[in-house]
Amino acid sequence: MNNFSRKAISLKFAILTTVMPLFFSSSPASAAFRNTCQDVGITVTNDTGKAINLIDLEYYNDRTGLWKNLFVRNHILDDGESKTYTKNLLKVKKVDTKVRAQYRTQKRGKWSWRVSEKDSAQATCAADSVYSITLS
C-alpha cells in the first residue's frame, strides 16, 4: 500500500468517526431530527382556469427567516385538479411556518418563463399538520 492510499484510508476513517456519532447520539446535532415537523400534508389545488406546471414547493422558517426547498419538480395539474404531498419539514416543529407553491402557467400550448408563487396561510407546525394552497 502506497503513502497516498494510507492517507486516503486515514481520512475516510476520520470522517466516519466524526460524522457517525452525530446520527446516533442525543447531542445537539441530532436535535434537527427531533425538531422535525413530521408527515405534513401539503395540498395544492389549481383553480387558475388552465393547466399549471408545479415546479417547486418551499417552506418558511419564521425563526430563521429562511425558505427551504422541498424538491417537488414539474407536476402538471389540470384546472380543478388537486395534489397532496406528505413531507417532513426540518427545524420547524412548533414554529410558525407557511408553504409556498411555485408554478408556471400554460399559454398557447407552451409553459411561461415567468414563475408565479402563492403562499399558504401561516400556522404553527406540528406532526400531521395540513397546509393548503389554492392557485387562482
The string of pLDDT tens digits covering residues 35-55 is: 788 999 999 999 999 999 999
Using DSSP's 3-state secondary structure scheme, residue 76 falls into strand
Domain, as residue range, for 88: 35-135
Q: Return the pLDDT at 26.
A: 44
62 and 114 both lie in a single domain: yes
Regarding whether 49 and 28 lie in a shared domain, the answer is no
Q: Are residues 59 and 110 in the same domain?
A: yes
CATH code: domain of residue 98:
2.60.40.2990
d(CA 27, CA 60): 25
Residues 9 and 42 in one domain: no
Task: Looking at the structure, tell me whether residues 28 and 77 fall in a common domain.
Answer: no
How high is the pLDDT of residue 130? 95
Residue 14's pLDDT is what? 53
Q: Tell the residue number behind the cell numbers 417532513, with chain if given.
A: 88
Number of domains comprising the chain: 2
- Nearest-angstrom CA–CA distance, 59 and 41: 12
| Whole-number average pLDDT of the chain | 83
47 and 114 part of one domain: yes
90 and 39 in a common domain = yes
Q: How do 130-135 and 116-119 pair as beta strands? A: unpaired
Indicate whether 73 and 58 sit together in one domain: yes
Residues 25 and 51 in one domain: no
Please give the residue that has the higher pLDDT: either 43 or 31: 43
State whether 23 and 76 are in the same domain: no
Residue 73 — very low, low, confident or very high, per pLDDT cuts 50/70/90?
confident
Please tell me the predicted confidence (pLDDT) of residue 27.
Answer: 44
Q: Do 79 and 127 sit in the same domain of this protein?
A: yes
Per-residue pLDDT for 22 more than 90?
Answer: no
Q: Are residues 21 and 42 in the same domain?
A: no
Residue-wise pLDDT tens digits, 86-124: 999 998 888 889 999 999 998 888 999 999 999 999 999
CB atoms within 10 A of CB 30: 14
Gap between the Cα atoms of 86 and 99, Å rounded: 12
